[in-house]
Structure 1
Amino acid sequence: MASKRRNMFYENKKQETTEIGAKRIAPPTYMGCFEDSSDRLLDGAREDSDALTPNSCIDFCYSRRFQLAGVEYGKECFCGDELKGKVRQKDTDCDKQCSGDPTRVCGGNWRLGVYNTGLRLGEGDVQRLIYVGCYVDNPDRILDGSKVVSDLLTPVSCVTFCYRREFTFAGMEYRNECYCGDVMKYSNRTENEQCDMECAGDPTRNCGGPWLLSVYNTGFKHYNMTEKDISTNVINTRRRRYREK
């Protein structure tokens, strides 16, 4: 009976790691039923679907590099990296049939069935990132999509931020700034050694410089780069330049 109950929560399915800078360290696992609120326990990406199953939600969150996936009210999928204000409930409280498979359960009314997607993000994977090069930025911004400023910025965190927002490129500038976009002006490329400011979140890595952008391909969309556009080396020079930005 217990085995049958577990199968209602998770349907075994072979998964493969294809994301850059990410590893699936174990099969997805069911973590339990939790009480949700309007603030959301998982406040990352979200998807509502009339074909929701635990697997489709896990795949959705995994593809966006989230470590946790939660199903709720039969058709809602939430993603995140941590449970905020978690209050665990009985597994039987998550009793709503999944919209995509009535033999499965997908949470309940303000009840979130939570899974670990099996994803792990780590700085040890940064060598797998596709480094495009160092580019001269300008006030109009080479990458004019999303932006975040973080005192914990690293190449992995910036690429992950842009990947989750479905951008092709991620760029780090002035040690703590992260920019995303789909289009770049390649005529602005300069020597890789110019992007030599230490990352705010990891002094062993480099995150651009003053008006200089260290650019990576996120791997979200296929992009044909010529050989001259690609450098697979992660720059680690410590030489610093101080210039008013």
Structure 2
Amino acid sequence: MAAAIAAVALVGRVQATEVALPPCLDPFQPFVYSGCFLEGSSQVLPYRSPAPSDGMTVEKCVAECKGNGYRYAGLVYYGNCYCGTTVLGTPAEESQCSYPCNGDSSEMCGGDKTFSIYQDPTFQPVEDATVEDYSPLGCWTDDSSLGRALTYRQDGVDGATLTTEKCLQSCRDGGFPFAGTEFGGECFCGVVIGNDTFAAPADECNMPCNGNAAQTCGGRSRLNLFVADELQSLQPCGYVPPVSSSTALPPVSTSVPSSSSAPPSTSAASTTSAPLTTAAPPTTTTKGAASTTSSSLCVSTTVVPPTCEWKCGKWCSTPLPDWSDVSSCKTAWSNCALQVASCFKGAGWPEVLDCFDFGEWCADVSSYCGSNPRGGCKKSDFWHRKPAKGHSPAKTTTVTTTCAPATSTSTKPAASSTTTTTTQCPIPTPTNLCHQPTNLWFGYGPGKPVGGIEMPVVTCNDLARDWPGYPFKGYTDTDSGRCRRYPRNGCTSACADACKDQYEDCVDVYAQGCKVRPRRSLGGDGGDNYFEFARAVDKRTYRWHDNYSGALGKCKAQYRDCLRVNRGVTGAGKCPRFGGW
């Protein structure tokens, strides 16, 4: 109880504008009961869950708070559920929290103005965090119709003298991991970044802080954003403890006879783990009790992979992993499909049109995987049928040398050896967590987006170091480490980012094509070559049948519909463990 009371902090008045996230449906560590608290001049917990009080239980309330990223859950008056990062109340007698929960009469749900408080044990104490723990995230937008980028405005901080440090201190005292300054004198805090909030150019945060002109405090509808990982849950909703596994070869029993004709002796046998080797086995000649070994030939194969397997303008794809069966072929297809969005972002006009060909090439990989090709399912065979554009396949060099002589056999037990293992990042499924919207009036829908430009794929994070806290990732770069990552309760934001990326590509490629009607010659003096290219453009982009204004209108309509259909998307049941969808 003393520890729970020590975690309670009193902070200044805040104003909340919250967009609710869904409850956590994945298993998580149970919240710990912290006691009964009396409401004073301030509300005990600021966020009220939209879940109805009818049927409310302790379990339902803590799931609401876990899903929304809060440290505390509180129940009052038979089942009204609240959440917060700190408790703005004073301890009360347990007898004052005696109202049974509407959904389970065996549980207590506070009292008239008293709250039964539960705490998430996966958070570190607020006292352990300092202002220095906040790291800058840059300039972000705060102009969405879906709500503020950060929920809690710190009205207790004097805007006329606002500095970055004052805002960070207020958010730290409130236990908020996110902090932001805006419009020179406004301070906001939050537990998550709001839906439809995006990174903005740094020069759009151009207003000096009212209390320190040498610092920048956001701009008009722009936030200078900061985050303190120390104030976030160590096990957010969807967290799965990493599982360490090792694969060992089965033990091999070997025996050394005392003579060439004598049967093996069981007492002389030793059991060792067979090491992996690339050398051919040595030839052995037995003569009496002595055993000698002659040298053999070692074959060394060096594969030099290309750095660019498919080139579209200024963009290059990461080479697909080699494959020799259907399973590894599908893995290569996943790798290919995850790179399509990055092509549209990086190729540049008009070479970006070749990204449609790259997408078709990836689809060809998928078709090849299921075609049961004669001679086996191999990358080299596929490359022969469908060579990539802009580069050649990997080069292989084979060198044959004489191996070093192996040591003679001995009756002594073999010394233990250390085996080095290499961990390869799993390639996630290209199945998108986000939904392509449908609009019969404009004619777009799943499999037929505006201009043929699909949404970037949001799926499982492929980096083990990130996965526990950020199980999802939006794949918009060939370098996975530069892609945006998202926590379990950040799926709606992830899809909002994917919708925005699709909109920008739609404008930059489809609308641009409808505007300029590209005339690029494929060589010579144009003529037939131009018409060949024009036909290719028609095929790739649904015939550019819009003018610029019409294309832009479709891109905007699709973006609005995309935000709407993906509002409230959750990752429930998805990516439950590292490397699995």
Q: Using structure 1 for the length normalisation, give the TM-score.
A: 0.50
Contact conserved, 1:153 with 1:175, CA < 8 A, in 2?
Answer: no
**CA offsets 1:122-175 (integer angstroms, 9 cap, x no match):** 667756x9x58567xxxxx84465584644334x95xx9xx99xxxxx974344
- Could you tell me which of 7, 12, 15 is aligned with 2:28? 15
Structure 2 Cα separation of the partners of residues 66 and 201 of structure 1: 31
User: 2:38·2:89 contact (CA, 8 Å) conserved in 1?
Assistant: no
Whichever residue aligns with residue 195 of structure 1, its letter is: C
Kindly indicate whether the alpha-carbon contact (under 8 Å) linking 1:153 and 1:202 is maintained by their aligned counterparts in 2: no
1: CA distance between counterparts of 2:43 and 2:143?
A: 35
Instruction: Give 1:75 shift.
Output: 1.3
Preserved CA contact (<8 Å) 1:143 1:171: no
How far did residue 208 of structure 1 move?
2.5
Q: Structure 1 CA distance, aligned partners of 2:69 and 2:216?
A: 22
TM-align CA RMSD: 5.2
Match of 1:213 in 2: 222
Q: Does 1:70 align with 2:74?
A: yes
Counterpart check, 1:101 vs 2:104:
yes
* Alignment-derived partner of residue 242 in structure 1: none
| Structure 2 residues not aligned, in runs of 5+ | 1-25, 226-485, 505-581
Aligned residue pair count: 187
The 1:67–1:182 alpha-carbon spacing in structure 2 relative to 1, beyond 3 Å, is: closer
CA offset at residue 57 of structure 1? Answer: 1.7
* One-letter code aligned to 1:116: Q
Cα deviation for residue 30 of structure 1 reads 0.9
The answer to whether the Cα contact below 8 Å between 1:45 and 1:78 also exists between their aligned partners in 2 is: yes
TM-score (norm 2): 0.25
- Higher fraction of strand: 1
Once residues 62 and 200 of structure 1 are traced to their aligned partners in structure 2, the CA distance between those partners, rounded to angstroms, is 36
Tell me how far apart the structure 2 counterparts of residues 201 and 65 of structure 1 sit (CA, whole Å).
Answer: 31
Which deviations, in whole Å up to 9, do the C-alpha atoms of 1:165-221 show, x marking residues without a partner? xxxxx97434443589755799xx54x266366778999x96425x48247699472
Identity %: 23
Q: Which residue of 2 aligns with 1:79?
A: 83
Query: 1-side partners of 2:187 and 2:110: how far apart?
Result: 35
For residue 226 of structure 1, give the secondary structure of its aligned residue in structure 2. helix
Whole-Å Cα distance in 1 between the matches of residues 73 and 64 of structure 2?
A: 8
Distance 1:185 1:70 in 2: 32
Q: Aligned match of 2:120 in 104, 109, 117?
A: 117
User: Helix, strand or coil: the match of 2:54?
Assistant: coil
After TM superposition, give the deviation of residue 43 of structure 1 in Å: 4.1
CA distance in 1, matches of 2:62, 2:114: 17
| 1: CA distance, partners of 2:212 / 2:63 | 30
Aligned to 1:167: none
2:389 matched residue in structure 1: none
Measure how far apart 1:226 and its partner are: 3.3
Q: Secondary structure at the match of 1:115?
A: strand
Q: Where do residues 23-62 of structure 1 align in structure 2 (5 Å cutoff)? A: 28-36=31-39, 39=41, 41-47=43-49, 48-62=52-66
* 1:44 Cα offset (Å): 0.2
Secondary structure of the residue aligned to 2:90 is coil
DSSP-derived class of the 1:31 partner = strand
* Structure 1 stretches lacking a partner, 5+ long: 1-12, 17-26, 136-140, 165-169, 230-245
Kindly tell me: are residues 226 and 98 of structure 1, through their superposed partners in 2, closer, same or farther at Cα, counting changes over 3 Å? same
3-state SS, counterpart of residue 32 of structure 1: strand
Per-residue Cα deviation, 1:15-61 (whole angstroms, up to 9, x for no partner)? 27xxxxxxxxxx52211123446x56514012442121122222323
Instruction: Assess, with a 3 A threshold, how the Cα gap between structure 1 residues 14 and 125 changes in structure 2: closer, same or farther.
Output: farther
Task: Provide, for residues 86-142 of structure 1, a one-character-per-residue CA deviation record: whole Å limited to 9, x for no partner.
Answer: 14203x443332222233222234332111234457667756x9x58567xxxxx84
Question: Where in structure 2 are the equivalents of 1:60-209 lying within 5 Å?
Answer: 60-90=64-94, 92-118=95-121, 119=123, 133=139, 142-143=143-144, 145-146=147-148, 148=153, 150=157, 151=162, 152-154=166-168, 157=171, 172-177=181-186, 190=201, 192=202, 195=205, 207-209=217-219
Does structure 1 retain, via aligned residues, the 8 Å contact 2:32–2:120?
yes
Distance 1:124 1:181, change over 3 A: same
Q: Distance in 2 between matches of 1:171 and 1:104?
A: 39
Residue 226 of structure 1 is matched in structure 2 by 501
Task: Evaluate the alpha carbon distance shift between residue 177 and residue 32 of structure 1 in structure 2; reply closer, same or farther with a 3 A threshold.
Answer: same
